[in-house]
Structure 1
Amino acid sequence: MSTPRRANRGPAAAADNRAALLAAARTTFAEHGLDAPLSLVARTAGVGQGSLYRHFPNREAIIVAVFEENIGQLEDLVANHESTLDELLDQIYTQLTGAVGLFEFLQPADSSDPRLSAVITRMHALLATELADDTHRGSIRADVTAGDIFLAVGMLGALLNKTPEAERARVAQRSWALLLRALRH
Protein backbone atom coordinates (compact mmCIF):
# COMPACT_ATOMS: atom_id res chain seq x y z
CA MET A 1 0.00 0.00 0.00
CA SER A 2 1.48 3.33 -0.97
CA THR A 3 1.34 6.50 1.06
CA PRO A 4 -1.05 9.05 -0.47
CA ARG A 5 0.61 12.11 -1.92
CA ARG A 6 0.06 15.35 -0.14
CA ALA A 7 -1.35 18.38 -1.93
CA ASN A 8 1.34 20.51 -3.52
CA ARG A 9 1.70 23.66 -1.42
CA GLY A 10 4.78 24.87 -3.30
CA PRO A 11 7.63 26.55 -1.42
CA ALA A 12 5.53 26.82 1.75
CA ALA A 13 5.74 23.04 2.12
CA ALA A 14 9.55 22.84 1.93
CA ALA A 15 10.21 22.42 5.65
CA ASP A 16 7.39 19.88 6.05
CA ASN A 17 8.56 17.96 2.98
CA ARG A 18 12.13 17.85 4.28
CA ALA A 19 10.98 16.56 7.67
CA ALA A 20 8.77 13.95 5.99
CA LEU A 21 11.66 12.86 3.77
CA LEU A 22 14.01 12.47 6.74
CA ALA A 23 11.45 10.40 8.65
CA ALA A 24 10.77 8.30 5.56
CA ALA A 25 14.49 7.79 4.90
CA ARG A 26 15.05 6.64 8.47
CA THR A 27 12.20 4.12 8.19
CA THR A 28 13.00 2.98 4.67
CA PHE A 29 16.71 2.49 5.28
CA ALA A 30 16.01 0.67 8.55
CA GLU A 31 13.62 -1.73 6.82
CA HIS A 32 15.31 -2.16 3.43
CA GLY A 33 18.95 -1.14 3.91
CA LEU A 34 20.89 1.72 2.40
CA ASP A 35 20.40 0.44 -1.13
CA ALA A 36 16.63 0.92 -0.93
CA PRO A 37 15.31 2.91 -3.90
CA LEU A 38 15.11 6.62 -3.23
CA SER A 39 11.76 6.53 -5.03
CA LEU A 40 10.52 4.44 -2.08
CA VAL A 41 11.73 7.14 0.32
CA ALA A 42 9.80 9.76 -1.66
CA ARG A 43 6.63 7.60 -1.83
CA THR A 44 6.83 6.86 1.90
CA ALA A 45 7.15 10.59 2.59
CA GLY A 46 4.18 11.31 0.33
CA VAL A 47 6.17 13.58 -1.98
CA GLY A 48 7.46 13.36 -5.52
CA GLN A 49 11.02 12.44 -6.44
CA GLY A 50 11.63 16.01 -7.57
CA SER A 51 11.01 17.20 -4.02
CA LEU A 52 13.40 14.57 -2.68
CA TYR A 53 16.18 15.66 -5.06
CA ARG A 54 15.60 19.36 -4.34
CA HIS A 55 16.36 18.68 -0.69
CA PHE A 56 18.88 15.86 -1.11
CA PRO A 57 20.78 15.68 -4.41
CA ASN A 58 22.02 12.14 -3.75
CA ARG A 59 21.78 9.17 -1.39
CA GLU A 60 24.73 10.32 0.73
CA ALA A 61 23.10 13.70 1.32
CA ILE A 62 19.96 12.20 2.84
CA ILE A 63 21.96 9.70 4.90
CA VAL A 64 24.14 12.49 6.28
CA ALA A 65 21.03 14.59 7.02
CA VAL A 66 19.54 11.74 9.06
CA PHE A 67 22.80 11.41 11.00
CA GLU A 68 22.93 15.17 11.56
CA GLU A 69 19.42 15.03 12.99
CA ASN A 70 20.44 12.15 15.27
CA ILE A 71 23.56 13.99 16.43
CA GLY A 72 21.49 17.09 17.11
CA GLN A 73 19.27 15.06 19.44
CA LEU A 74 22.35 13.69 21.22
CA GLU A 75 23.85 17.18 21.51
CA ASP A 76 20.61 18.45 23.05
CA LEU A 77 20.82 15.66 25.62
CA VAL A 78 24.45 16.41 26.50
CA ALA A 79 23.70 20.15 26.69
CA ASN A 80 21.61 19.31 29.75
CA HIS A 81 24.36 19.49 32.37
CA GLU A 82 22.66 16.80 34.44
CA SER A 83 22.81 14.22 31.65
CA THR A 84 24.98 11.17 32.11
CA LEU A 85 26.96 8.95 29.80
CA ASP A 86 24.48 6.17 30.54
CA GLU A 87 21.66 8.37 29.19
CA LEU A 88 23.72 9.23 26.13
CA LEU A 89 24.47 5.56 25.50
CA ASP A 90 20.78 4.69 25.90
CA GLN A 91 19.88 7.32 23.29
CA ILE A 92 22.59 6.06 20.92
CA TYR A 93 21.24 2.53 21.34
CA THR A 94 17.70 3.73 20.60
CA GLN A 95 18.89 5.51 17.45
CA LEU A 96 20.93 2.51 16.37
CA THR A 97 18.11 0.01 16.78
CA GLY A 98 15.67 2.39 15.08
CA ALA A 99 17.83 2.80 11.98
CA VAL A 100 20.11 -0.20 11.78
CA GLY A 101 20.94 0.16 8.10
CA LEU A 102 22.27 3.67 8.51
CA PHE A 103 25.06 2.68 10.85
CA GLU A 104 26.85 0.68 8.17
CA PHE A 105 27.49 4.05 6.50
CA LEU A 106 29.18 5.51 9.58
CA GLN A 107 32.71 4.23 9.05
CA PRO A 108 35.35 6.81 10.00
CA ALA A 109 38.23 5.16 8.16
CA ASP A 110 36.68 5.44 4.71
CA SER A 111 34.69 8.63 5.04
CA SER A 112 35.47 10.80 2.02
CA ASP A 113 32.39 12.97 2.55
CA PRO A 114 33.36 15.98 4.72
CA ARG A 115 29.78 16.22 6.03
CA LEU A 116 29.95 12.65 7.29
CA SER A 117 33.39 13.30 8.77
CA ALA A 118 31.88 16.26 10.62
CA VAL A 119 29.10 14.05 12.02
CA ILE A 120 31.67 11.50 13.19
CA THR A 121 33.73 14.26 14.81
CA ARG A 122 30.64 15.59 16.59
CA MET A 123 29.82 12.08 17.89
CA HIS A 124 33.35 11.64 19.23
CA ALA A 125 33.18 15.07 20.88
CA LEU A 126 29.90 14.19 22.63
CA LEU A 127 31.31 10.95 23.96
CA ALA A 128 34.56 12.62 25.03
CA THR A 129 32.63 15.37 26.83
CA GLU A 130 30.67 12.87 28.90
CA LEU A 131 33.73 10.70 29.54
CA ALA A 132 35.80 13.69 30.73
CA ASP A 133 33.46 14.44 33.63
CA ASP A 134 33.50 11.82 36.39
CA THR A 135 30.00 12.81 37.51
CA HIS A 136 28.71 12.17 33.99
CA ARG A 137 30.82 9.05 33.35
CA GLY A 138 28.71 7.07 35.81
CA SER A 139 29.43 3.37 35.74
CA ILE A 140 31.70 3.42 32.67
CA ARG A 141 35.28 2.38 33.45
CA ALA A 142 37.95 5.10 33.56
CA ASP A 143 40.02 3.48 30.79
CA VAL A 144 37.15 3.50 28.24
CA THR A 145 37.62 6.08 25.48
CA ALA A 146 35.24 7.68 23.01
CA GLY A 147 36.91 5.57 20.33
CA ASP A 148 36.12 2.40 22.31
CA ILE A 149 32.44 3.32 22.53
CA PHE A 150 32.33 4.29 18.87
CA LEU A 151 33.89 0.93 17.97
CA ALA A 152 31.39 -0.95 20.16
CA VAL A 153 28.44 0.86 18.56
CA GLY A 154 29.88 0.14 15.11
CA MET A 155 30.28 -3.55 15.96
CA LEU A 156 26.69 -3.74 17.15
CA GLY A 157 25.49 -1.95 14.03
CA ALA A 158 27.39 -4.39 11.80
CA LEU A 159 25.94 -7.36 13.68
CA LEU A 160 22.39 -6.03 13.51
CA ASN A 161 22.73 -5.31 9.76
CA LYS A 162 23.31 -9.03 9.23
CA THR A 163 20.65 -10.22 11.70
CA PRO A 164 17.25 -11.22 10.30
CA GLU A 165 14.61 -8.67 11.22
CA ALA A 166 12.59 -11.20 13.22
CA GLU A 167 15.56 -11.76 15.56
CA ARG A 168 16.96 -8.23 15.57
CA ALA A 169 15.32 -6.91 18.77
CA ARG A 170 16.44 -9.92 20.81
CA VAL A 171 19.97 -9.85 19.41
CA ALA A 172 20.19 -6.07 19.92
CA GLN A 173 19.15 -6.26 23.57
CA ARG A 174 21.48 -9.15 24.36
CA SER A 175 24.45 -7.66 22.50
CA TRP A 176 23.95 -4.23 24.06
CA ALA A 177 23.83 -5.77 27.54
CA LEU A 178 27.11 -7.60 26.83
CA LEU A 179 28.77 -4.43 25.51
CA LEU A 180 27.68 -2.40 28.51
CA ARG A 181 28.97 -5.08 30.83
CA ALA A 182 32.36 -4.85 29.14
CA LEU A 183 32.41 -1.02 29.43
CA ARG A 184 31.35 -0.83 33.09
CA HIS A 185 33.30 -1.24 36.34
Structure 2
Amino acid sequence: MPTSRTNPGPAAAARNRSALLEAAHAVFAESGTAAPLSSIARRAGVGQGSLYRHFPDRVSLVAAVVEENVDELEAASAAGADLPDLLGLVTRHAIESVGVVDLLAEDRPRRMLQLRERVAAVLAAHHEAALAAGQVPQGATVEDLMLGVELVAGALTRRPAGERAAMAVRSWRLLGMAVALPEGVR
Protein backbone atom coordinates (compact mmCIF):
# COMPACT_ATOMS: atom_id res chain seq x y z
CA MET A 1 0.00 0.00 0.00
CA PRO A 2 1.55 3.32 -1.04
CA THR A 3 2.13 5.89 1.66
CA SER A 4 0.86 9.35 1.07
CA ARG A 5 2.90 12.38 1.90
CA THR A 6 1.09 15.48 2.95
CA ASN A 7 2.12 18.72 1.41
CA PRO A 8 3.33 21.00 4.20
CA GLY A 9 2.35 24.02 2.09
CA PRO A 10 3.39 27.59 2.92
CA ALA A 11 5.01 26.62 6.22
CA ALA A 12 7.62 24.59 4.33
CA ALA A 13 8.24 27.47 1.95
CA ALA A 14 9.07 29.83 4.82
CA ARG A 15 11.30 27.19 6.49
CA ASN A 16 13.06 26.49 3.19
CA ARG A 17 13.70 30.17 2.52
CA SER A 18 15.09 30.63 6.01
CA ALA A 19 17.30 27.54 5.67
CA LEU A 20 18.54 28.74 2.29
CA LEU A 21 19.50 32.16 3.66
CA GLU A 22 21.27 30.62 6.65
CA ALA A 23 23.16 28.28 4.31
CA ALA A 24 24.00 31.14 1.94
CA HIS A 25 25.50 33.17 4.80
CA ALA A 26 27.70 30.21 5.75
CA VAL A 27 28.71 29.19 2.21
CA PHE A 28 29.46 32.76 1.11
CA ALA A 29 31.60 33.25 4.25
CA GLU A 30 33.55 30.07 3.48
CA SER A 31 33.77 30.15 -0.30
CA GLY A 32 32.69 33.58 -1.54
CA THR A 33 29.81 34.52 -3.79
CA ALA A 34 31.08 32.35 -6.64
CA ALA A 35 30.35 29.19 -4.61
CA PRO A 36 28.09 26.71 -6.41
CA LEU A 37 24.45 27.35 -5.60
CA SER A 38 24.03 23.59 -5.34
CA SER A 39 26.23 23.67 -2.23
CA ILE A 40 23.85 26.18 -0.66
CA ALA A 41 20.82 24.04 -1.47
CA ARG A 42 22.58 20.94 -0.13
CA ARG A 43 23.58 22.67 3.11
CA ALA A 44 20.02 23.95 3.54
CA GLY A 45 18.66 20.44 3.03
CA VAL A 46 16.49 21.40 0.07
CA GLY A 47 16.56 20.69 -3.65
CA GLN A 48 17.86 23.15 -6.19
CA GLY A 49 14.31 23.63 -7.46
CA SER A 50 13.37 25.05 -4.08
CA LEU A 51 16.38 27.37 -4.16
CA TYR A 52 15.40 28.72 -7.59
CA ARG A 53 11.74 29.15 -6.56
CA HIS A 54 12.86 31.49 -3.80
CA PHE A 55 15.85 33.05 -5.54
CA PRO A 56 15.73 32.91 -9.35
CA ASP A 57 19.41 33.81 -9.69
CA ARG A 58 22.59 34.30 -7.69
CA VAL A 59 22.09 38.06 -7.37
CA SER A 60 18.61 37.59 -5.88
CA LEU A 61 20.10 35.35 -3.21
CA VAL A 62 22.95 37.77 -2.55
CA ALA A 63 20.46 40.65 -2.26
CA ALA A 64 18.45 38.68 0.30
CA VAL A 65 21.62 38.01 2.33
CA VAL A 66 22.51 41.72 2.37
CA GLU A 67 18.91 42.60 3.24
CA GLU A 68 19.09 40.24 6.24
CA ASN A 69 22.35 41.85 7.33
CA VAL A 70 20.77 45.30 7.25
CA ASP A 71 17.72 43.98 9.16
CA GLU A 72 20.10 42.62 11.82
CA LEU A 73 21.86 45.99 12.03
CA GLU A 74 18.56 47.83 12.47
CA ALA A 75 17.48 45.36 15.18
CA ALA A 76 20.78 45.83 17.03
CA SER A 77 20.31 49.60 16.85
CA ALA A 78 16.77 49.35 18.18
CA ALA A 79 18.05 47.12 21.02
CA GLY A 80 20.43 49.89 22.12
CA ALA A 81 23.78 48.96 20.58
CA ASP A 82 26.25 51.84 20.44
CA LEU A 83 28.10 53.01 17.34
CA PRO A 84 31.28 50.92 17.86
CA ASP A 85 29.10 47.81 18.27
CA LEU A 86 27.09 48.68 15.15
CA LEU A 87 30.23 49.29 13.12
CA GLY A 88 31.54 45.98 14.47
CA LEU A 89 28.42 44.26 13.22
CA VAL A 90 28.77 45.88 9.79
CA THR A 91 32.41 44.78 9.81
CA ARG A 92 31.41 41.21 10.71
CA HIS A 93 29.06 41.22 7.74
CA ALA A 94 31.90 42.45 5.52
CA ILE A 95 34.26 39.78 6.86
CA GLU A 96 31.70 37.04 6.25
CA SER A 97 30.46 38.29 2.92
CA VAL A 98 33.48 39.48 0.97
CA GLY A 99 32.43 40.19 -2.60
CA VAL A 100 28.72 40.28 -1.81
CA VAL A 101 28.44 44.06 -1.95
CA ASP A 102 30.42 44.28 -5.20
CA LEU A 103 28.25 41.67 -6.90
CA LEU A 104 25.05 43.36 -5.79
CA ALA A 105 26.28 46.85 -6.64
CA GLU A 106 27.13 45.77 -10.19
CA ASP A 107 23.79 44.12 -10.86
CA ARG A 108 21.33 46.12 -8.77
CA PRO A 109 22.75 49.57 -8.05
CA ARG A 110 19.39 51.07 -7.06
CA ARG A 111 18.78 48.33 -4.50
CA MET A 112 22.30 48.80 -3.12
CA LEU A 113 21.69 52.52 -2.72
CA GLN A 114 18.51 51.80 -0.74
CA LEU A 115 20.35 49.38 1.54
CA ARG A 116 23.21 51.89 1.94
CA GLU A 117 20.70 54.56 2.98
CA ARG A 118 19.28 52.21 5.63
CA VAL A 119 22.77 51.57 7.04
CA ALA A 120 23.53 55.30 7.02
CA ALA A 121 20.26 55.99 8.87
CA VAL A 122 21.23 53.52 11.61
CA LEU A 123 24.67 55.08 11.97
CA ALA A 124 23.18 58.59 11.92
CA ALA A 125 20.91 57.70 14.84
CA HIS A 126 24.01 57.03 16.97
CA HIS A 127 26.40 59.58 15.47
CA GLU A 128 25.96 62.49 17.92
CA ALA A 129 26.25 60.26 21.00
CA ALA A 130 29.38 58.62 19.56
CA LEU A 131 30.94 62.03 18.90
CA ALA A 132 30.16 63.17 22.44
CA ALA A 133 31.63 59.95 23.86
CA GLY A 134 34.80 60.28 21.78
CA GLN A 135 34.06 57.03 19.95
CA VAL A 136 34.65 58.62 16.56
CA PRO A 137 37.17 61.26 15.53
CA GLN A 138 36.00 64.83 16.12
CA GLY A 139 34.39 66.29 13.03
CA ALA A 140 33.62 62.88 11.50
CA THR A 141 30.30 62.92 9.69
CA VAL A 142 27.93 60.06 8.94
CA GLU A 143 29.25 60.10 5.38
CA ASP A 144 32.76 59.74 6.81
CA LEU A 145 31.57 56.67 8.73
CA MET A 146 30.04 55.23 5.56
CA LEU A 147 33.31 55.88 3.73
CA GLY A 148 35.08 54.04 6.54
CA VAL A 149 32.75 51.06 6.09
CA GLU A 150 33.50 51.04 2.36
CA LEU A 151 37.25 51.37 2.91
CA VAL A 152 37.34 48.56 5.46
CA ALA A 153 35.17 46.30 3.28
CA GLY A 154 37.48 47.03 0.36
CA ALA A 155 40.53 46.10 2.41
CA LEU A 156 39.00 42.68 3.06
CA THR A 157 38.19 41.72 -0.51
CA ARG A 158 41.38 39.90 -1.35
CA ARG A 159 42.39 38.67 2.09
CA PRO A 160 42.18 35.02 3.11
CA ALA A 161 39.26 34.40 5.47
CA GLY A 162 41.57 33.84 8.44
CA GLU A 163 43.16 37.28 8.08
CA ARG A 164 40.02 39.37 7.61
CA ALA A 165 39.14 40.14 11.24
CA ALA A 166 42.66 41.32 12.08
CA MET A 167 42.78 43.37 8.87
CA ALA A 168 39.42 44.96 9.72
CA VAL A 169 40.57 45.93 13.21
CA ARG A 170 43.81 47.39 11.80
CA SER A 171 41.89 49.29 9.13
CA TRP A 172 39.50 50.85 11.65
CA ARG A 173 42.43 51.74 13.92
CA LEU A 174 44.12 53.54 11.01
CA LEU A 175 40.89 55.46 10.55
CA GLY A 176 41.07 56.52 14.21
CA MET A 177 38.35 54.23 15.54
CA ALA A 178 38.16 51.30 17.90
CA VAL A 179 35.37 49.09 16.58
CA ALA A 180 33.89 46.31 18.70
CA LEU A 181 33.80 43.13 16.64
CA PRO A 182 31.11 40.70 17.83
CA GLU A 183 32.25 37.63 19.75
CA GLY A 184 33.29 34.73 17.61
CA VAL A 185 34.49 36.85 14.69
CA ARG A 186 37.92 35.64 13.70
Q: TM-score, normalised by structure 2?
A: 0.78
The number of residue pairs the alignment matches comes to 171
Taking structure 1 as reference, are residues 124 and 135 closer, same or farther at Cα in structure 2, changes over 3 Å only? closer
Taking structure 1 as reference, are residues 77 and 170 closer, same or farther at Cα in structure 2, changes over 3 Å only? closer
Task: Give the corresponding residue for 1:141.
Answer: 137
Cα distance in 2, alignment partners of residues 111 and 123 from structure 1: 19
**Structure 1 stretches lacking a partner, 5+ long:** 1-7
**Residue 32 of structure 1 pairs with residue 26 of structure 2:** no
Verify the 8 A CA contact 2:91 2:152 in the aligned structure 1. Answer: no
Q: Deviations over 1:7-35 (max 9, x none)?
A: x8453211111111111111112222222
Q: Name which of 109, 120, 123 aligns with 1:124.
A: 120
The amino acid of 1:98's aligned partner reads E
Q: TM-score, normalised by structure 1?
A: 0.78
Cα distance in 2, alignment partners of residues 152 and 59 from structure 1: 27
Q: Name which of 85, 88, 91 aligns with 2:86.
A: 88
Deviation of 1:85 (Å): 1.4
The amino acid of 1:92's aligned partner reads V
Deviation of 1:136 (Å): 4.3
Taking structure 1 as reference, are residues 113 and 49 closer, same or farther at Cα in structure 2, changes over 3 Å only? farther
Deviation of 1:162 (Å): 0.4
Task: Give the corresponding residue for 1:153.
Answer: 149
The amino acid of 2:82's aligned partner reads T
Verify the 8 A CA contact 1:22 1:66 in the aligned structure 2. Answer: yes
Taking structure 1 as reference, are residues 106 and 173 closer, same or farther at Cα in structure 2, changes over 3 Å only? farther
Taking structure 1 as reference, are residues 166 and 92 closer, same or farther at Cα in structure 2, changes over 3 Å only? closer
Say what the alpha-carbon RMSD is for the aligned residues: 2.5
Verify the 8 A CA contact 2:99 2:157 in the aligned structure 1. Answer: yes
Trace 1:51-130 onto structure 2 (pairs within 5 A): 51-80=50-79, 82-105=80-103, 107=105, 112-130=108-126
Cα distance in 2, alignment partners of residues 152 and 33 from structure 1: 22
Taking structure 1 as reference, are residues 54 and 30 closer, same or farther at Cα in structure 2, changes over 3 Å only? same
Identity %: 43
- Look up the SS of the partner of 1:100 in the other structure: coil
Cα distance in 2, alignment partners of residues 141 and 111 from structure 1: 34
Q: Name which of 153, 166, 177 aligns with 1:170.
A: 166
Verify the 8 A CA contact 2:59 2:107 in the aligned structure 1. Answer: no
Cα distance in 2, alignment partners of residues 105 and 151 from structure 1: 18
Indicate the structure (1 or 2) with the bigger Cα radius of gyration: 2
- Look up the SS of the partner of 1:128 in the other structure: helix
Taking structure 1 as reference, are residues 113 and 101 closer, same or farther at Cα in structure 2, changes over 3 Å only? closer
Q: Deviations over 1:51-84 (max 9, x none)?
A: 111111111111111111111111112224x432
Which structure carries more helix by proportion?
1
